[in-house]
Amino acid sequence: MTASPRDDALPRHDWTLAEVEALFDLPFAELIFRAMSVHRRWFDPTEVQMCQLLSVKTGGCAENCGYCSQSAHFDTGLAASRLMDAEAVIADAARAKAGGAQRFCMGAAWRDLKDRDVPKVAAMISGVKALGLETCATLGMLTPPQAKALREAGLDYYNHNLDTGPDYYETVVTTRTYQERLDTLGHVRDAGIAVCCGGIVGMGEARRDRAGLLHQLATLPKHPESVPINGLVPIAGTPLGDLIRAEGQLDGLEFVRTVAVARLVCPKSMVRLSAGREGMSRELQALCLTAGANSIFVGGKLLTTPLPGESEDQRLFRDLGLRPMTSPEPALAG
Ligand code: SAM
Ligand code: DTB
Ligand code: SF4
């Protein structure tokens, strides 16, 4: 009996690092062609999901993530603020919905969620959910009971990034381990919350580290339903921001390769073109949205850094023949 040819669009969890690196090494057009083909198997390629972020607690964070404007370890000139009131968050979410956002993500500059803050965060989540938005939060590490409480409040997604491959990780952050991040992802899964997990490209890492990050995601027991690919926003005063300001940013084509490989190894996931869009040309964004990215952040601002404006995004969508996503997400269908 002859073996049937493997279907490249079916999710796999047995990727080897060498296989992921081999995808990165493909001729550019071959890689993009494969990613486009897989994208069409699971999604309408003319649809792009619109997500909006709000920093509900800014700055003063105890972690030392070497890229972050919000770490208390570095002087980035950012003013810290307290946790916002739920009413103000819900009012911002209502504006986001009116502007066309489908998912609303609440971010806090915390190492971990404290039990005392759970009721206030739960009120934000249930209020945003009641507006008819998909809810997402990114609040640092969670315990299993906290994850359960957030789910009960109506949390659809939790964002917690691995940031980079395991070998480059300690160059990026030393105040929490890779395993601690994986543990939080497990608690989120166990609570029945969809996982949003990705990383940052262009922090001085090697191609092998980018492959290492995607290999980790592709070999999780279940692929993250959302995979954000962030381009480093180089913040002055942070170790990695200063390094990249001195050495120059990663080549845009390598960023596109990372997006395409993410599409190939997590075929049914939303691949989000996340931070870094503000510094990209329209042409580079178009390549990313062609190579399999199908989700973006909108609303003028990420957490502490700017995004392209609404009119620029509308022009980009018009010129590329794209429209806001209305179809259900395949990864949530099982
Ligand atoms: N404190 C929480 C945490 O780290 O999980 C939530 C907020 S944190 C700012 C969310 C994610 O934003 C980080 O994991 C990182 O991947 C991304 N991020 C932060 N600063 C960035 C920058 N300067 N450039 C690109 N991505 C960045
Ligand atoms: C993610 O991966 N990217 C978003 C979201 N998850 C929370 C955050 C990007 C932050 C970029 C830097 C800033 O605006 O502070
Ligand atoms: Fe804190 Fe998150 Fe920034 Fe790290 S990325 S310093 S955990 S806010």
Whole-angstrom Cα distance, residue 299 to residue 274? 12
pTM: 0.97
Mind giving me the DSSP string for 12-29? -S---HHHHHHHHTS-HH
Please calculate the CA angle 295-298-302 and round it to the nearest 5 degrees: 105
Q: Is 267 exposed, middle or buried (0-12, 13-18, 19+ CB in 10 A)?
A: buried
Question: Which CATH code, of 3.20.20.70, 3.40.50.300, 3.40.50.170, 3.30.43.10, is assigned to 17-319?
Answer: 3.20.20.70
pLDDT tens-digit map of 42-66: 999 999 999 999 999 999 999 999 9
Q: Is 197 in the pocket of ligand 1 (CB under 6 A)?
A: no
Give distance in angstroms: CA of 299 to centre of ligand 3.
21
Please calculate the CA angle 236-198-177 and round it to the nearest 5 degrees: 75
The type of residue at 104 is F
C-beta atoms surrounding 14 within 10 Å = 7
Cα–chain center distance at 159: 7
Cβ < 6 Å from ligand 3: which residues?
A: 61, 63, 65, 68, 70-71, 109, 111, 140
Long-range contacts, 92-97 (Cβ 8 Å, 24+): 92/54, 93/52, 93/54, 93/127, 93/128, 93/131, 93/133, 94/131, 96/52, 96/54, 96/133, 96/299, 97/131, 97/132, 97/133
pLDDT tens-digit map of 233-256: 999 999 999 999 999 999 999 999
CB 50 within 8 A of CB 102: yes
Give catalytic status of residue 197 as yes or no: no
Task: For the chain, give the number of residues.
Answer: 334
Q: Enter the DSSP assignment of 112.
A: B
| Options 65, 197, 266, 288, the catalytic residue | 65
Q: For residue 265, give Cα distances in angstroms to 193, 251, 287.
A: 21, 22, 18
Q: What is the pLDDT of residue 6?
A: 72
Query: 44 is written with which tokens?
Result: 């309408």
Its sign, for the CA torsion 283, 315, 39, 232, is: positive
> Among 54, 61, 67, 273, which is best to mutate for testing ligand 1, by the most ligand atoms less than 8 A from CB?
67
Q: What is the pLDDT of residue 2?
A: 47
Give catalytic status of residue 105 as yes or no: yes
Whole-angstrom Cα distance, residue 160 to residue 140? 7
Its sign, for the CA torsion 201, 314, 31, 13, is: positive
Q: What is the pLDDT of residue 242?
A: 97
Phi/psi for 216 (5° steps) reads -60, -45
Under the phi-then-psi rule, with left for phi > 0, alpha for psi from -120 to 50, and beta for the rest, what region is 225?
alpha
- Domain regions of the chain by residue span: 17-319
State which residues of the chain have pLDDT below 70: 1-5, 334
Given the CA of residue 159, which atom of ligand 2 is nearest to it?
A: 6
